[in-house]
A and B are shown apart, each in its own frame.
Chain A
């Protein structure tokens, strides 16, 4: 399969809402790897300052299921969440992976990096030589990795972990690395966005990204653009309260300024998404989430942060 076909597959299947992206993706990826004699992606996964929601979101992947991703797509060599090894055995694996796969492994970071007080607000592990802070680990591993993927909004932009007043000085990982970072934002990430990005890396290398370094094929259009309730908005029929069937703009919806394919893609085996359950999109993929979306239930013009530069609500984002 050529790259252009792959991208079309991802986009079409989302729009068709027939749940077939991942069902088609896995055999294609396997076929491609077989034909090109490539192995799986060696992955080091660091959990830093976040809620752990992105590893839970990743566990919710369907077609491929979690065990299939482990079997067919990635070699997860270090992960605080999933690895059987513990204590110094786990740290030895981290060291070995870094040495053996220098310049060849993919670093996945889940969470923001606290930069204040020498990074002491997040310690990946305590060692006899002292604490290994998330700051140290992300910088050191980030420099040695082939690809760096930020999973979730905390790792991408700081997210909830860096929300005001940000006492830990937390930042997105691109702030501490002088290299390309692929941001796969969302609070949490939709597993399709993450697994789709891994597939792209495996088959074609880095995906085409938007101005926030996110894969365009998932974040290229706004929620508003593809919302099922767009006709209500166009007719100025707004919900009077949460639970109503009309447009959620009146209830604080951030869809007009949020790049994501939620309306097509949906969540957890593609069964639903926030607007479908009569609540607003709160813009969780955005660079300024959550501060820029608050108060969550106030219409866009009344949010705490003014959104002067939001894209025209009727037009496609560039």
Chain B
């Protein structure tokens, strides 16, 4: 048996290492190790609760709008705001634009060098090209598409900044609505930008994904997970953010059920945390010297089991993707989602009415605790706050990468990324980083996001159980009447998994 230390795993947000055990050419054990910790939940404490939208965006650079959005939903509950239709269109346009930015950058800047030989100059030196399979003409064509991708991703952030003031860490998507008036000039400018991005996705990203998925079609069977998917739903509408365009769900053994947040449990068995037993609150504390631990990410479980999130989970649960659970399925679903979101943004921009800033912030808190969820780019995201007056007493966050890059739990069950690595064949030592790198990146890991702490035993999620249960049942009723557009449902990608 051979140990492989794969560190650093480059081309992702944050810092990640993976330790692999390989026996007779097959991966038999994998430890995914997030090697950074910032402790954002501690930072949120004692802040005025309205600081949450701007401050939590600082958790993550590549998905900042997701934290801004879920914190705004949380504050909408705390203040009982009413959100008008125009505000919801504008919010979703901004949120969607950040998805496009993320997906385009992930595919071209992070993922492409896994499959395409890049020019032999910085930052592409020492690329391992052992298993690059495109013919020279196709290869060189795809390598030049990075230039177009850089522009398309920048244009995506331009849409976000046009309405949000800047990106990352926009300013106008706040509780109560959006502080910027959607004037006709801004709408026109955004329409022109989304037109360019849509064109880019159709001309480059779709065919490029198709070509890679054809040349590397063995990856439809490499990096498979157990197929337990979780999504908190995406793109909220309604006066109280109660409707979702893409529904939430837990997919287990082929059956989709509604997520119940009280079934979420966290586990610190293999993470660098310890429970301070001598303290009344039994809070967990960072413990960088803890033996047997190997990551700053805690294990997060739903009904005692690890679950995978991201575009593949979202699209599968919503019946928009019918394929497997492999590396290439994750990549294909992400590209497909990119196309769908460009079309949605176009549609929303057409429905957006020019007018004053659609914002109305109530001043009095009606609750002292709340929990809010959404899907972010890489999967399910949860924020949860408990207040003392107007100040944050506790603020808990579970990010998507915590789900996907969960370490083993106390029983030794592996998280999705670890599961995907197990059983993978490494036919030669030249491929010891190449193959695991492709599998890992297909999850679009974001370690800056992942390494936060949530104490499920003492946190307010448990106390919020009843409140949330009632909310979820309302949600699930409305989900049946959720707004979906016909052309999305009927869309069939041509390269979906052969099985």
Contact = CB atoms under 8 A, between A and B. Distances in A.
A273 B126 contact: no
Nearest to B144: A67
Contact of A89 (B128, B158, B172, B289): B128
Interface string A277-309: 111001010000010001111100000000000
B5 interface: yes
A51 B59 contact: yes
B35 A123 contact: yes
Interface string B285-322: 01011000000100000000000000000000000000
Contacts of B125: 77, 83-85, 93
Given A268-B161, A295-B47, A123 B62 contact: no
Contacts of B169: 53, 187-188, 284
A54 B33 CA distance: 23
A172 B174 CA distance: 30
Contacts of B42: 165, 167
Nearest to A57: B168
Contact of A268 (B40, B128, B158, B446): B158
B7 A126 contact: yes
Contact of B165 (A61, A267, A290): A267
Contacts of B40: 160
B39 A168 contact: yes
Contacts of B446: 52
A83 B11 contact: yes
B126 A243 contact: no
Interface stretch (A13-21, A114-122, A218-226, A228-236): A114-122
Nearest to B363: A241
Nearest to B433: A87
Contacts of B462: none
B145 to A, nearest CB: 11
Interface string B143-179: 0001100110110011011111111110110101101
A277 B14 contact: no
B161 A168 contact: no
B64 A122 contact: no
B192 to A, nearest CB: 12
Contact of A52 (B35, B61, B147): B61
A11 to B, nearest CB: 21
A33 interface: no
Given A47-B14, A56-B61, A160-B55, A86 B168 contact: no
A125 B51 contact: no
A51 B60 contact: yes
Contacts of B123: 70, 76-77, 79, 82-84
Contact of A127 (B7, B13, B167): B7
A65 interface: yes
A185 interface: no
A187 B58 contact: yes
A311 interface: no
Interface in A17-76: 47-57, 59-62, 65-67, 70, 74-76
Nearest to A170: B38
Given A86-B9, A279-B172, A80 B162 contact: no
A123 B288 CA distance: 11
Contacts of B146: 67
Given A67-B146, A81-B10, A242-B359, A56 B62 contact: yes
B5 A128 contact: yes
B174 A279 contact: yes
A127 B171 CA distance: 41
B363 to A, nearest CB: 10
Given A53-B61, A87-B8, A267-B161, A123 B128 contact: no
Contacts of A88: 5, 7, 433
B283 to A, nearest CB: 12
Interface string B35-70: 111111011011110110011001111101000000
B445 to A, nearest CB: 11
Contact of B43 (A59, A163, A269): A163
A90 interface: yes
B254 to A, nearest CB: 36
Contact of A59 (B105, B127, B160): B105
A243 B8 contact: no
A277 B172 contact: yes
A86 B154 contact: no
Interface residues of A, number: 85
A272 B50 contact: no
Contacts of A104: none
A131 interface: yes
A276 interface: yes
B155 to A, nearest CB: 8
Nearest to B166: A267
Interface in B251-275: none
A4 interface: no
Contact of B127 (A84, A159, A271): A84
A51 B58 contact: yes
B6 interface: yes
Contacts of B177: 243
B61 A86 contact: no
Given A122-B15, A277-B164, A89 B150 contact: no
Nearest to B294: A126
A284 B124 CA distance: 33
B361 interface: yes
A125 B7 contact: yes
B245 interface: no
A126 B51 contact: no
Given A52-B14, A272-B162, A272-B166, A160 B286 contact: no
A156 interface: no
A81 B61 CA distance: 12
Given A85-B126, A268-B157, A296-B54, A121 B286 contact: yes
B279 to A, nearest CB: 15
A215 B165 CA distance: 23
A255 to B, nearest CB: 13
A173 to B, nearest CB: 15
A139 interface: no
Nearest to B36: A122
Contacts of B160: 268
B154 A59 contact: yes
Contacts of B19: 126
Interface of A: 47-57, 59-62, 65-67, 70, 74-77, 79-93, 114, 117-118, 120-128, 131, 159-161, 163-165, 167-168, 170, 187-188, 241-243, 267-269, 271-279, 282, 284, 290, 294-298
Given A164-B46, A167-B42, A243-B177, 15 more contacts: A47-B14, A60-B154, A62-B154, A84-B11, A84-B125, A86-B11, A87-B437, A124-B8, A124-B35, A125-B35, A160-B43, A243-B357, A267-B167, A277-B164, A278-B172
